[in-house]
DNA sequence: ACAGAGTAGTGCTTTCCACA
DNA sequence: TGTGGAAAGCACTACTCTGT
């Protein structure tokens, strides 16, 4: 198995046979399990392979390196988030922003609970400028930003309305603060306010910014 | 006492290749 | 086609030595 083959396989699991798909999935599951107790930075191919009950050589048949398997996990987490967001079908109307914000922030908290280490790693690698992780984060951001943007362009309390660019800029500000806080709430043990109270505050601020009631 | 260079040991990554 | 043993290569760490 050449390095090029491994590269192809890591990004195209469907090209594998049944046994290969099973082994690849075992490695992904093993990595996900190890991430519940190990930092992504300390994760090793040897540990993943051992947890999956296979040799480290086999690991490199399916993944280029540890970052590659972390990317696969990040990709799956992003798909999960996009599906959850799409299922909610929120931020379509300025009249429902308060309810939608609560639903959105609850969903976001659940996603961070489920994919904590992977999402944090995705954020870190995207911040570092890795194009694959940047693109992944961008897909998620774009899905949410586009909804905020549409609502801000026709925010009922803004007269004159924001132009397209300013509406998009404000969408970015809102999204970035929500995303960063979602990460921080899960990793900052010194916070004296409960995650629920912070979420409620975020929902109020979103509502105030996009479509204040009354 | 301290800083920097050199070295050995250790663990991990990566590849090759034989085998099922 | 898929797996894993073996080994080379690499990176990191701890330790020792040397000069200031």
Q: Which nucleotide is nearest to A47 (CA to C1')?
A: B12
Assess whether A35 and A129 both reside in one domain.
no
Closest nucleotide (C1' vs CA) to A55 is C4
Structure tokens belonging to residue A136: 């992944």
pLDDT tens over chain A, length 214 residues:
333 344 344 444 445 666 777 888 888 888 888 888 788 877 888 888 888 878 777 888 888 888 888 888 999 999 999 999 999 999 999 889 999 999 999 999 999 999 988 998 898 888 878 888 999 999 999 999 999 999 999 887 877 878 999 999 999 999 999 988 888 877 776 777 888 888 899 999 999 998 876 5
Query: Which chain B positions come under 7 Å from a protein C-beta?
Result: 11-17
Main-chain dihedrals φ then ψ at residue A145, nearest 5 degrees: -60, -40
User: CB less than 7 Å from strand C: which protein residues?
Assistant: A 1, 16-23, 53-58, 61
Same domain, A78 and A40: no
Q: Which residue range(s) make up the domain with A79?
A: 72-210
A174 contacts A209 by C-beta, under 8 angstroms: yes
- Domain co-membership, A109 together with A206: yes
Residue A55 phi/psi, 5° resolution?
A: -90, 155
CATH code of the domain in which A91 resides: 1.10.357.10
CA A41 to C1' C15, in angstroms, rounded, equals 26
3-state DSSP assignment of residue A124: helix
Number of domains making up chain A:
2
Same domain, A119 and A157: yes
SS3 A90: coil
A85 and A34 in one domain?
no
Separation CA A124–CA A134 (nearest Å) = 10
| pLDDT for A114 | 92
What CA–CA distance (Å, rounded) separates A185 from A196? 10
- My answer on whether A7 and A44 are in the same domain is yes
| Distance of C1' in B7 from CA in A46, Å | 27
Q: Which of A64, A90, A105 is the last residue of a domain?
A: A64
Read off the DSSP letter of residue A54: S
Query: What is the CB neighbour count within 10 angstroms for residue A84?
Result: 15
Report the distance from CA of residue A42 to the C1' of nucleotide C16 in Å, as an integer: 29
Residue with tokens 């925010």: A155
Residues A60 and A90 in one domain: no
Find the Å distance, CA of residue A65 to C1' of nucleotide C13.
23
Closest nucleotide to the alpha carbon of A23, via C1': C2
Query: How far is CA A32 from each of CA A38, A59, A138, rounded to the nearest angstrom?
Result: 10, 14, 23
Whole-prediction pTM: 0.82
Domain end call among A14, A32, A64: A64
- The predicted structure's pLDDT at residue A214: 58
Q: Which nucleotide has the least CA–C1' distance to A68?
A: B13
Nearest to A70 by CA among A110, A39, A96: A39
Asked if residues A30 and A48 have their Cβ atoms less than 8 Å apart, the reply is yes
């Amino acid at each position: 198995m050449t390095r090029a083959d491994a590269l192809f396989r890591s990004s195209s699991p469907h090209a594998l046979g049944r046994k290969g798909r099973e082994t690849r999935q075992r490695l992904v599951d093993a990595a996900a399990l190890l991430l519940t107790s190990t930092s992504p930075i300390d994760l090793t191919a040897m540990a993943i392979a051992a947890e999956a009950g296979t040799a480290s050589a086999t690991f490199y048949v399916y993944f280029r390196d540890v970052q590659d398997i972390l990317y696969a996990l990040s990709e799956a987490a992003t798909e999960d988030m996009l599906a959850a967001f799409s299922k909610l079908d929120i931020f379509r109307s300025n009249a429902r922003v308060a309810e939608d914000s609560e639903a959105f922030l609850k969903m976001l908290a659940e996603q961070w609970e489920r994919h904590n280490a992977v999402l944090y790693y995705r954020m870190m690698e995207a911040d570092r400028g890795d194009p694959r992780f940047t693109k992944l984060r961008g897909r998620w951001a774009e899905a949410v930003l586009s909804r905020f943007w549409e609502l801000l362009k026709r925010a009922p309390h803004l007269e004159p309305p924001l132009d397209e660019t300013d509406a998009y800029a404000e969408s970015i500000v809102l999204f970035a603060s929500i995303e960063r806080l979602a990460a921080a709430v899960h990793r900052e043990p010194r916070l004296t306010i409960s995650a629920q109270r912070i979420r409620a505050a975020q929902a109020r601020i979103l509502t105030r910014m996009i479509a204040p009631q009354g």
